Amino acid sequence: MKDFFQKVNSYVKEAFGASKYLFDGITVTFDHLKRRPVTVQYPYEKLIPSERYRGRIHYEFDKCIACEVCVRVCPINLPVVDWVMNKETKKKELRNYSIDFGACIFCGNCVEYCPTNCLSMTEEYELATFDRHNLNFDNVALGRLPTNVTSDPTVKSLKELTYLPKGVMDPHDIPSSDPRVGKLPEEVLDWMKSSESKEEATVVK
Ligand code: SF4
Ligand code: SF4
C-alpha cells in the first residue's frame, strides 16, 4: 500500500512539473504574439540599411588626384593606386585604382580622409561571389552606382528595424502607433517637417 502511495505521489509531482514547463512554453509563445516579427525572408524581403551604413565603396576616377592618402590611412594599406609621373607636365597620371573587398574591413578611414571626396560608402551589402578574386574591384567596378533595395520592384523592402526614433535601439520598445514606425526615410522627413512647422505655429501664437 505504501509503495502505491509513493508511486501516486511521484506521478503527481511529475505531472505538475510537466504542466509547469508547458505553461512556461506557452507564456513565451504568447509573449512573442505581442511583438512585431524580426525575421526577414531574404532575398524576397530586404532591410533598408540605416542612414550611415558602411557598405561597398563608390569611387570617382575623375576626382582622384592619386595622392595615396587613402592607402596611408587604411589599417591594411589596401587601396592600390596605380599612377605614373608625366615628365612633361610633372604631374601624376592615374592609370588604375582598386580595392579588394575580400580584405576590406569597411572601417571608412579612406572615405573620411580622401581630400577630394572621391570615395564614399554606399548602402550596398550584397557582395557574395563564388570566386574571391571577383571581390577585387577596379576603378570601373568601384565607379558603378550602388543598387538600392527600395528601387528593386522584385524585392519587398522592410523598414521597421531601421528608421527608429532617436535614442531607441530596440524595435520592440516602441509602440506601433509611433508616427515614425514603418515609414520610409522620405516619409519620416515629411513627418518631421510637418511636426516642426506645427511647433513653430504654436510658438508664434
Ligand atoms: S585619397 Fe582620394 S584622391 Fe587620394 S588617392 Fe585615395 S582616392 Fe585618390
Ligand atoms: S574601408 Fe577601411 S579597410 Fe577598407 S579600404 Fe578603406 S580604409 Fe581600408
Q: What is the CATH number of domain 57-151?
A: 3.30.70.3270
Cα(16)–Cα(199) distance, rounded to whole angstroms?
59
Looking at residue 46, what is its pLDDT? Answer: 81
pLDDT along the chain (205 residues), means of 10: 87 94 90 69 81 92 96 97 93 95 96 96 92 95 87 71 60 66 69 77 67
Torsion sign over Cα 138, 140, 146, 152: negative
CB of 181 closer than 6 angstroms to any ligand 1 atom: no
d(CA 64, ligand 1 centre) in Å: 5
Q: Model pTM?
A: 0.67
| pLDDT tens digit sequence for 77-121 | 999 999 999 999 999 999 999 999 999 999 999 999 999 999 999
Q: What percent of the chain has a predicted confidence (pLDDT) above 90? A: 51
Is 149's C-beta closer than 6 angstroms to any atom of ligand 2?
Answer: no
Q: Is the CB of 79 under 6 A from ligand 2?
A: yes
CA of residue 78 to ligand 2 center, whole Å: 7
Structure confidence at residue 195 (pLDDT): 78
pLDDT of residue 133: 94
